[in-house]
Structure 1
Amino acid sequence: MEFNIGPRMVKTGLAVALTLIVTDWLGLELEIVAAIAAVLAMQPSIMRSYNYIKEVVVSNGVGLLFALLGTFLLGTHPLSVGVVVIISIAINIRLGLNKTVSLTVLTIITLMLVNEEGLSLLYVLTRLSLVTIGVVSAFIVNVVIFPPDHQKNLFSLIKQASEKMNFMLRVLPNKTMSIPEIKKENEEVEKLINDAKDYFEIISDERSRILIKDRVHFYRNIVIFKHMIRVLGKKQNLIEQLERHIREIEEIPGNKAYLIKKLVKEMNSYSENILLLYEDKIILNTDLQKETKTAMQITINNLIEELQGSEFGRWNVVFPIANSIIELFFELDKLERLVRINEIKEGRG
């Protein structure tokens, strides 16, 4: 059983601790409300924390309005609180404030738990300050403690997914992997790709952040990461086609199976080299790469020639794999050009 404590867990704990220290120092009751707000407000990036605070201002305004109306019109009976919560959730979703629904509900419940003195301005401000302290504490901790290196994390996910898919592309054509193992690997790859896409969205959000050291470098990397994820999608498609058709292809007379296996092997090597080039771990000779790509194009042409005059049934089997290989080749070619441009701009080429 794995037990990993990540930076976000640590930051959430620190945000709760900071919240409790502040509420204790101010002598505020119901500090648990502020602690819950801190947990809800912890976001995976600085920019998302900032956007979350902006959304909190609007959603808490909605929560405050409905809490006051609910208290005066319906009272503070548990059923009244439930009705107000339902209406406020519907309004928040309608306004597109989905991320802060939980915090709005917390605000409403906190405000509608009226004390013996009744609803007063001081009471409202005190209860709202609990939520504010929690949200602001989460933001401060997110900015100061372990600022996330999303580009490093994203590339790590892309590399893991690529390595797993390269392994599958090596063994699938030779039919040396069992069906349960293929299914397990596919699930892991799918998760890594989805995680990479989520991280890419986080990085895209960070584009609006003011404090970026080298904005041009940042934008170049966004474009490269976008193409890397597209390459993963093309690889995934090729793997699916190989799983479906490789056995049928081997039964077809001619050179088709050999050419497909050769191309898959070359695509694997090409893909690995591009990632190593991006990491600045190898130097790829431009002329040598041109020769390699020309050789791949010749092999693709040979495969197409092999298909000429084939029956429809054979086309139906071979074409999906051939098409996936061609799409992957062109996507890798684009990615290599982008990585080389990045090298030149950074003075490494």
Structure 2
Amino acid sequence: MKLGARIFKTGVSIALALFLAQFISLQGSVVSGISALFAMQPSVYKSYKTIIEQFQGNIIGALLAVAMVQLFGVHILIIALSSIILIAVLSQLKLQNVTGLAVVTQLIIMDHHQGDFFQTALMRFAFVMIGVISASIVNLVFLPPKYETKLYYNCLNVCGDIFKWIRLSINGTSEYHIVKKDLEEFHSRITSLESQYNLYKDERAYTKRQAYQNTRKKILFKEMISATRKAYELLRKLNRYENDILNLPEDLRIQMKFELDELMSYHEELLMRVTNKVSLGRAANTSLVNDQFKEDLLDVYLKELNSYHAREENYYKQHVFQVIGAMFEYREKLEHLDTLTHSFYNYHKEEKKITVEDENFDM
């Protein structure tokens, strides 16, 4: 069982909401805890956005509940009809994200049996908003998300696992079904990584200058994730066309293996360079992969194609072409990341650099 920061923050926000609600009334204060649970968000920006949207949704839910009770009274069918109307209204107003808590607000207000109805409705609405505000405060000041650290280590870990299978696959020592199963896991991890990046991208800066600095960092991390996906796509093609690769002539296989080793070493260096742990060393676009190697690989492959029809082969040239094409696409993506890294550290030295703590945040 893994307990993340968001789980702890949810617990703290519930405790804070219940504590604050007790100053208004002990009766019904548990609604604040429920509201805090619904309102907890994975990012600070989403928390800020949630306060506005939740306030709008809860106001609509509360007003609808009061109107329906005053017009038709309290009945099971009236409550159900009110929920349908509320969901439809929120959908039209593009407030689907707050539907859950808005419906809860409507239900607890309509569930009134004694005392002054308007006073009870106002109190329960206040309980709901206390929960929303408590969740936002906790999300802002308590264990703020470390997006750069998470993204960096997740890229590093996913790439490391992919590289292991690439080396085994090109040597013919991998099991097809095991690699295929791990590919599904890699796809899930990269998708999760991209979702985490979207949260990072949504974060807002307090000043215009800081916004420009953050934009450059976000572009760099976007390319890191894109390069990771290219490595995944390469492994997927190597696994899919494993038999074709193993039946290639030895000289072509050796050249492909050499090229893959260079590409993976290049990627590993770039990941270290993003955090400024290794010197830039070379000018942008001057990669570890020498152009001569690329020409050699193409020359060997073209020679093989010329003699393909002269003898009977145990592989499909179209499949091999897809693998080699994936290698070149991967290389181009790494060179683009190389260019961005050089630009970031050579031309923006006055800016605050990427901060990565020595922690492991693997998914």
The 1-side partners of 2:292 and 2:16 are apart by: 61
- 1:226 corresponds, among 222, 228, 232, to 222
- 3-state SS of paired residue (1:286): coil
Bigger fraction of residues in helix:
1
Give deviations 1:2-38, integer Å, cap 9, x for gaps.
x322111111111111111111122242111110000
Structure 1's 181 and 253: CA in aligned 2 closer, same or farther, altered over 3 A? closer
Deviates more, 1:154-163 or 1:171-180: 171-180
Q: 1:133 aligned to 2:133?
A: no
Task: Provide closer, same or farther for how the CA distance between residues 296 and 55 of structure 1 changes in structure 2, counting only shifts above 3 A.
Answer: farther
Separation (CA, whole Å) in 2 of partners of 1:71 and 1:44:
36
Question: Retained in 2: the 8 A contact 1:33–1:130?
Answer: yes
Aligned length: 344
What is the CA distance between 1:258 and its match in structure 2? 2.2
Q: Which residue of 1 aligns with 2:146?
A: 149
1:268 alignment partner in structure 2: 264
Q: Structure 1 stretch 124-133 or stretch 149-158: which is displaced more?
A: 149-158
Residues 170 and 245, structure 2, Cα contact 8 Å, conserved in 1: no
1:110 and 2:89 matched: no
Deviation at 1:124, TM superposition (A): 2.4
Partner of 2:251: 255
1:299 Cα deviation (Å)? 3.5
How has the CA–CA distance of structure 1 residues 317 and 292 changed in structure 2, closer, same or farther, with 3 Å as cutoff?
closer
Correspondent of 1:70 among 68, 89, 94: 68
Q: CA deviation at 1:96?
A: 2.0
Provide the residue aligned with 2:330 in structure 1.
Answer: 328
- Structure 2 residue 349 is matched with structure 1 residue 346: yes
Contact in 2 for aligned 1:37/1:135 (Cα 8 Å)? yes
Other-structure match for 1:279: 275
Letter in 2 for 1:54: I
Partner of 1:236: 232
Distance 1:149 1:270 in 2: 26
SS at match of 2:42: coil
CA RMSD of aligned residues (A): 2.4
Q: Is the 8 A contact 1:169 1:268 kept in 2?
A: no
Confirm or deny: 8 A CA contact 2:280 2:342 kept in the other structure. Answer: no
Gaps of 5+ in 1: none
Change in 2 beyond 3 A, CA 1:71/1:338: same
Cα pair distance change 1:333/1:261, threshold 3 Å: same
**1:60 maps to what in 2?**
58
Contact map agreement 1:47 1:209 (CA 8 A) in 2: no
Alpha-carbon offset, residue 126 of structure 1:
0.9
SS, match of residue 114 in structure 2: coil
Per-residue CA deviation, residues 30-59 of structure 1 (Å, 9 max, x unaligned), is 111110000111111111000111111221
Q: Closer, same or farther in 2 for the Cα pair 1:171/1:254, shift >3 Å?
A: closer
CA contact (8 A) 1:256 1:306 kept: no
Structure with larger RCO (C-alpha < 8 A, sep 6+): 2
Partner of 1:318: 320
Alignment match, 2:18: 20
Q: Whole-Å Cα distance in 1 between the matches of residues 207 and 13 of structure 2?
A: 22
- TM superposition score normalised by structure 2: 0.87
In structure 2, the residue corresponding to 1:292 is in which secondary structure? Answer: coil
Q: Is 1:158 paired with 2:158?
A: no
Judged with a 3 Å threshold, the aligned counterparts in structure 2 of structure 1 residues 291 and 68 are, in CA distance, closer, same or farther, namely closer
* Deviating more after overlay: 150-159 vs 40-49: 150-159
- Distance in structure 2 (CA, Å) of the matches to 1:328 and 1:307: 23
Whole-Å Cα distance in 1 between the matches of residues 33 and 5 of structure 2? 18
Q: Which amino acid aligns with 1:173?
A: I
C-alpha contact (below 8 Å) 2:55/2:129 kept by paired residues: no
* SS of residue paired to 2:276: coil
Q: 1:68-107 alignment to 2 at 5 Å? A: 68-107=66-105
Check the 8 A contact 1:255/1:306 in 2, yes or no: no
- Within 2, Cα distance between the matches of 1:333 and 1:203? 24
Residue deviations 1:199-230, cap 9 Å, x none? 11111110x34269843332111001111121
> Relative to structure 2, which stretch is displaced further, 82-91 or 334-343?
82-91
Amino acid at match of 1:158: C
Aligned-partner Cα distance in 2 for 1:340–1:173:
31
**Percent of aligned pairs with the same residue?**
26
> Cα deviation per residue 1:258-313 (whole Å; 9 max; x = unaligned)?
22222222111111111011122222531695463324432443355335434597
Which stretches in structure 2 are left out of the alignment for 5+ residues?
A: 354-363
AA in 1 matched with 2:56: V
Distance 1:220 1:187 in 2: 31
One of 188, 204, 207 as aligned partner of 1:191: 188
Task: Report what 1:217 is aligned to.
Answer: 213
